[in-house]
């Protein structure tokens, strides 16, 4: 255990999460199958090995699906409010283990401890939301055109829900899906990112205890570990009617095609290329706070991270100078130290992607305002720490059109009215999050209109990063069109059924057809 891990008491945190034996390559937990090769998890904080888990083979996967399918037959018949009670208990366990799980999220993924705790709080919040939802899985009643008939709609569980999550939110996105799917009567099979496998095992241990205490089938929650090959087991499996996948656009297209080929359903949360529009009526102080947090938070590894700042020419220099000054105050280092603002990227492959993006933007004619840098030496032994960069660029640059999962902020200029800024903002293939900074009501409403932002999330006077549990989260275009979390996102986890009841002694046929016997 390194000095950083020891100071953070990681050994005790792992013990509380049932992970004390992870260095032996054991995958503990209910329905955590793995007899394949070992997956080693290294912390980007200090480069040290945290633990090992075994990957899932095809044979292991078949056991998982068998257990899940069997559990579904029992789980779907339990009344939804009782399913909600199980989720409530899961939320209570998360409250008890918020500190150790938050530490593990921070250490294995590399985000700040505050963000790690915040991610676990998101899990707790979605459990609370799901408990209330368990008594509100409502349908509709309609008037029939036929006398003596009643029509209504109701929703039923789908079955096995497959979940593929990304490294940047190693626990919250799983909870967004499972909490809703469980109260809907579904069972879940989860493949966490191979870059953060211990977070997956920890969560599985927590829910497994809840299931045991309630004498419920362990197959309600299952875990599979491995690379994309393991994910392919689910995407090609007709026994998995819904696959929820979070990740890159490239990955999402592969998943969507595979699931669509078998006429399954997919819920896709893919890339973002998020912009903040800064108008002449913007509050500059608020703008800088929102832009800096959005661009450097989680080292730019959020799907909602701010990638582009579209600034009106009349305030461009003021905003630019304020940003450069703010970046000069950023502290980069161990994310477990609350005095630091920016932690590491997830691994050295991400570092190489960051370096390549900065090289490409210069080749296309971009101008570096705040230079990037890869840190090394004492405190940066993992080789994953980089300096957030600011680049003056054009929206048409190829690299600007891409999502680079790193702290690079592109400054773009617009002239004229807000329509010109909105046109730039929408001129990318991604459509996740967007924002406008303005005190002009007309500009704000124009941005939120049907002719405004084409993103799934559109904010006024707050940044692009972050979302509340109560609203549906997701984006349009190549972001995938999926919706998770609040509002009526629960409907994706269920199948709709229309029912007609005839309470007369007659059987009228359609179009007045007579068929007397």
Catalytic residues: 269, 303
Q: Number of helices (H) and strands (E) in the chain: give both, helices first.
A: 16, 22
User: Exposure pattern of 318-346 as b/e (b: 16+ CB <10 Å)?
Assistant: ebbebbeebbeeeebbbbbbeeebbbbbb
Rounded Cα gap, residues 53 and 113, in angstroms: 24
> How far is it, in rounded angstroms, from Cα 139 to Cα 498?
9
Residue 495 contacts residue 155 (beta carbons within 8 Å): yes
Residues, the chain, total?
517
Q: What distance in Å separates the CA atoms of residue 512 and residue 338, rounded to the nearest whole number?
A: 75
* Exposure string over 245-262, b if 16+ CB within 10 A, otherwise e: bbbebebbebbbebbeee
Query: What residue spans of 410-487 are helical by DSSP H?
Result: 418-426, 441-448
C-beta of residue 334 within 8 angstroms of C-beta of residue 340: yes
Q: How many CB atoms lie within 10 A of CB 104?
A: 31
3-state secondary structure 37-97: CEEEEECCCCCCEEEEEECCCHHHHHHHHHHHHHHHHHHCCCCHHHHHHHHHHHHHHHHHC
Dist. CA 80–CA 75, nearest whole Å:
9
Question: For residue 19, with 0-12 CB atoms within 10 Å meaning exposed, 13-18 middle and 19 or more buried, which class applies?
Answer: buried
Q: Are strands 149-157 and 141-143 parallel, antiparallel or unpaired?
A: antiparallel
Residue from 318, 314, 284, 305 nearest 414 by CA: 314
């Amino acid at each position: 255990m390194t000095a950083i891990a020891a100071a953070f008491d990681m050994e005790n945190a792992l013990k509380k999460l049932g992970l004390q034996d992870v260095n032996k390559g054991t995958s503990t937990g209910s329905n955590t199958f793995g007899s394949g090769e070992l997956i080693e998890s290294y912390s980007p904080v200090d480069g040290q090995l945290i633990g090992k888990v075994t990957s899932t083979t095809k044979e292991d996967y078949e056991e998982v699906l068998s257990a899940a399918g069997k559990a579904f037959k029992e789980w779907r018949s339990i009344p939804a409010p009782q399913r909600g009670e199980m989720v409530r208990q899961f939320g209570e366990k998360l409250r008890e283990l918020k500190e150790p799980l938050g530490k593990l999220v921070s250490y294995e993924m590399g985000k700040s401890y505050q963000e790690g705790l915040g991610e676990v709080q998101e899990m707790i919040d979605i459990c609370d939301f799901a408990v209330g939802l368990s008594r509100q899985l409502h349908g509709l009643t309609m008037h029939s055109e036929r006398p003596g008939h009643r029509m209504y709609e109701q929703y039923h569980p789908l079955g096995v829900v497959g979940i593929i999550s990304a490294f940047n939110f190693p626990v919250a996105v799983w909870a967004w899906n499972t909490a809703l799917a469980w109260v809907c009567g579904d069972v879940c099979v989860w493949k966490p990112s191979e870059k953060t496998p211990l977070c997956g095992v920890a969560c599985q241990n927590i829910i497994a205890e809840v299931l045991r205490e309630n004498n419920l089938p362990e197959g309600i929650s299952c875990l599979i570990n491995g690379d994309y090959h393991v994910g392919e087991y689910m995407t090609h499996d007709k026994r998995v009617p819904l696959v929820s996948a979070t990740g890159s656009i490239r990955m999402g297209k592969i998943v969507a095609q595979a699931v669509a080929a078998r006429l399954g359903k997919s819920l896709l949360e893919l890339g973002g290329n998020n912009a903040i529009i800064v108008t002449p009526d913007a509050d500059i102080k608020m703008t800088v706070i929102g832009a800096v947090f959005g661009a450097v938070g989680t080292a730019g590894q959020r799907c909602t991270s701010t990638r582009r700042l579209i600034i009106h020419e009349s305030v461009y220099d003021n905003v630019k100078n304020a940003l450069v000054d703010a970046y000069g105050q950023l502290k980069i280092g161990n994310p477990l130290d609350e005095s630091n603002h920016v932690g590491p990227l997830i691994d050295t492959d991400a570092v190489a992607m960051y370096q390549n993006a900065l090289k490409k933007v210069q080749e296309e004619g971009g101008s570096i305002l705040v230079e990037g840098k890869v840190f090394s030496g004492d405190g940066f032994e993992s080789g994953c720490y980089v300096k957030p960069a600011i680049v003056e660029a054009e929206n048409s640059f190829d690299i600007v059109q891409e999502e680079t999962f790193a702290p690079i902020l592109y400054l773009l200029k617009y002239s004229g009215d807000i329509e010109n800024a909105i046109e730039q903002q929408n001129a990318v293939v991604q459509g996740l999050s967007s924002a406008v900074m303005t005190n002009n009501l007309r500009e704000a409403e124009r941005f939120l209109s049907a002719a405004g932002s084409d993103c799934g999330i559109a904010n006024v006077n707050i940044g692009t990063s972050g979302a509340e549990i109560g609203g549906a989260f997701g984006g349009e275009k190549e972001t995938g069109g999926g919706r998770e979390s609040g509002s009526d996102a629960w409907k994706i986890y269920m199948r709709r059924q229309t029912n007609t009841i005839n309470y007369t002694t007659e059987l009228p046929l359609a179009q007045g057809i007579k068929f007397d016997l």
